[in-house]
Structure 1
Amino acid sequence: MEYPRPPQSDSWFAPLSLDLLVKVFKITFFHPFVSWIIPLCFRAQALRWDAPPMLVSIAWACFITVCWIAQAVNLRIAYGLPREVDLTEEVIVITGGASGLGLLIAEVYGMRGATVAVLDVNDMENGEARGVTFYKCDVTDKAQVARVAAQIERDLGTPTVLINNAAIVKGKSLLDLEFEEIEKSITTNLTAHFYTLKTFLPPMIRGGNGGTIVTMSSVLGHLGAASLTDYAAAKAGVTALHKSLTAELAASHPEIRTILVEPGQLSTPLFYGVQTPHAFVAPVVEPVDVCKEVIAAIDAGKSAHVAMPLYARWIHWYNVLPVAVQQIARKVARVDTSMQTFIGRQERGMSEKNGSLI
């Protein structure tokens, strides 16, 4: 099912974003290949080696090349060697995969020949795709998770990739939230990760071929926002869980790779209706873009940190700013008023502000 893009304020520069500009510069002026073309062009014009333009262009090309090499070394030291990935041998489990980002990842892997198991409380919107098997499961019920896990192992084999994607959003202030809603939100957005990890990780380790754990968190785990107390708290916990798990696995089971995904606002039903005040700096992220990054990391067999759009990669520096500057930034970005237009998903008889699985 196609969902309309969350309504945004119109502007003449709407298609333009900081992410687009950075991407253009990254593949041009900040790319080693392009950087070395400049001094070569100067030399083709018979410019002397000691001429200032030649020296500056060579220095710039050397600087960019060193930066790219340093980045590659940094990633290798941080994440180690990648594991070998053969999609025909991979069994991928996706929670909350009946719609949105989870469904997109499931369909792509199914078409590419991988074996995919989708766990969700809702039926798949497009029906079961090729290579995708649906299991009705409430991931907040550890007994159901254990039962479905055993069935998956009988039907499809031992899971090698676990994508914890299930999430819900209530979109209410703390005072408006019922205790049952808080419990449901924390259980779905955080506790369910523990259930699935405790269930699927041991057989993944026993399989001996390595595996990948993908944790879907959010930039809100670092930032927080009004009317998202339950969601932000859970996502902060998910991020902390992922980092602690990564440290444990690095010491005991380095063959298991971990990928942390922290996107900004996604163009999915989960946050439908939320206005993005400054689309240039904080554009709405298309699920297909996140899907590409996640799939690329899984296919490469490496651990990774996926954060989109650009500001999500630098959000850690927000807490370094003086408190007054933080407050000014929040007001300018209208972080704490954006949920006033929240609608959420209204299909399947759900209430207007009940949210949905991603």
Structure 2
Amino acid sequence: MNALLEFLWLLVIVIYSYVESLVKLFIPVKRKSVSGEIVLITGAGHGLGRLTSYEFAKRQSKLVLWDINKHGIEETAEACRKLGATAYTFIVDCSNKEEIYSAAEKVKRDIGDVSILVNNAGVVAAADLLSTQDKQIQKTFEVNILAHHWTTKAFLPAMIKKDSGHIVTVASAGGHIVVPFLVSYCSSKFAAVGFHKSLTQELSALGKDGIKTSCLCPVFINTGFIKHPRTRFVPLLEPDKVAKTLIDGILCNQKMIFVPPFVKCSLFFERILPERALRAMEKFLNVQFDAVVGYGGKEN
């Protein structure tokens, strides 16, 4: 009898959730303030990390900027200061666990507890698996997913103590839908999406609902990260628009942020279409980019 009552209650919650989601389509979500929040962004010396830093700076956050590139990180910090924000820079190799923990201790000691953590740093090797060097594979996982563990372990305890904070995972559409010649990259981004989902569920199980999580999953962004990406229908994203979408998702406590939003449709098709139809759709979309292909004999 208890199981039947629990099942009926589950149905009520499901129906209520659908109605709530429908209503939210027509009612603007209240955005939170990040003024004065200590925001740490990894990979802030260029591209999406830099532009996301600008968005937080416009909102008067206190910025802690990490990057391996000293020149790039200083340029980002200077621009943030011109926008009226306080910005601190740290030269950190996010593939190195000891450097991450050491820098994290300095941040906590000299600046304070990080309240918003943006795990943005990433690397990619566009090549077929057999042409990808072992050190490239290792670095891809060190930066794209292991660093998420180390930074989160460093800053999460203070968030748990306050039951407040926000952890942002910058993943990729490649963490849901794969393409050839990015095996290591897509694998690491699948792991990043899994990290976000698992962490979200774990925080809920711990009763720490005050700590929010968001995961960004864009298609190709025009940052030079991947050379000459092109598809038949999906547009190449401009980094400033992606940064604005990301900050909007953070302010609304959005769990999964797809850019463009119709990427979610691809996930639906992935689940319902037969294998032959999926392969035909992939050919139809015609995703291409410059890649080292030592064994396939051609570029994709």
Provide TM-score, normalisation by structure 2. Answer: 0.81
Unaligned runs of 5+ in 1: 1-66, 344-358
Distance 1:310 1:83, change over 3 A: closer
Q: 2:135 aligned to 160, 168, 180, which one?
A: 180
8 Å CA contact 2:242, 2:259 repeated in 1: yes
Q: Residues 81-92 of structure 1: matches in 2 within 5 Å?
A: 85-88=33-36, 90-92=37-39
Aligned counterpart, 1:93 = 40
1:312 maps to 2:263: yes
8 Å CA contact 2:163, 2:209 repeated in 1: no
1:293 maps to 2:241: no
Aligned counterpart, 2:167 = 213
**Identity score, percent:** 27
Q: 1:333 aligned to 285, 288, 294, which one?
A: 285
2: CA distance, partners of 1:255 / 1:272: 40
Aligned counterpart, 1:158 = 113
Matched residue count: 264
| CA distances 1:219-263 after superposition (whole Å, capped 9, x unpaired) | 112221111000000001111111111001112111100011100
Unaligned runs of 5+ in 2: 1-17, 293-300
1:117 maps to 2:25: no
Aligned-partner residue type, residue 215 of structure 1: T
Aligned-partner residue type, residue 60 of structure 2: G
1: CA distance, partners of 2:23 / 2:243: 23
Aligned counterpart, 1:251 = 205
Distance 1:68 1:270, change over 3 A: farther
Secondary structure of 1:245's aligned partner: helix
Alpha-carbon offset, residue 305 of structure 1: 1.5
Aligned counterpart, 1:264 = 219
Aligned-partner residue type, residue 186 of structure 1: F
Aligned counterpart, 1:29 = none
Tell me which structure has the larger Cα radius of gyration. 1
Alpha-carbon offset, residue 104 of structure 1: 0.7
| CA distances 1:123-169 after superposition (whole Å, capped 9, x unpaired) | 24325221221100011212111111111122221100000101111
Alpha-carbon offset, residue 72 of structure 1: 4.0
Secondary structure of 2:65's aligned partner: strand
Q: Residues 1-358 of structure 1: matches in 2 within 5 Å?
A: 70-72=21-23, 85-88=33-36, 90-125=37-72, 126-129=75-78, 130=81, 131-206=86-161, 208=162, 210-252=164-206, 253-274=208-229, 276-278=230-232, 281-300=233-252, 302-319=253-270, 320-335=272-287, 338-339=288-289, 341-342=290-291
Runs of 4+ with >6 A deviation: none
Secondary structure of 2:132's aligned partner: coil
Alpha-carbon offset, residue 100 of structure 1: 0.4
Indicate the RMSD between aligned Cα atoms, in angstroms: 2.4
Distance 1:216 1:242, change over 3 A: same
8 Å CA contact 1:94, 1:119 repeated in 2: yes
Alpha-carbon offset, residue 107 of structure 1: 2.1
8 Å CA contact 1:107, 1:132 repeated in 2: no
Aligned-partner residue type, residue 218 of structure 1: S
2: CA distance, partners of 1:209 / 1:87: 18
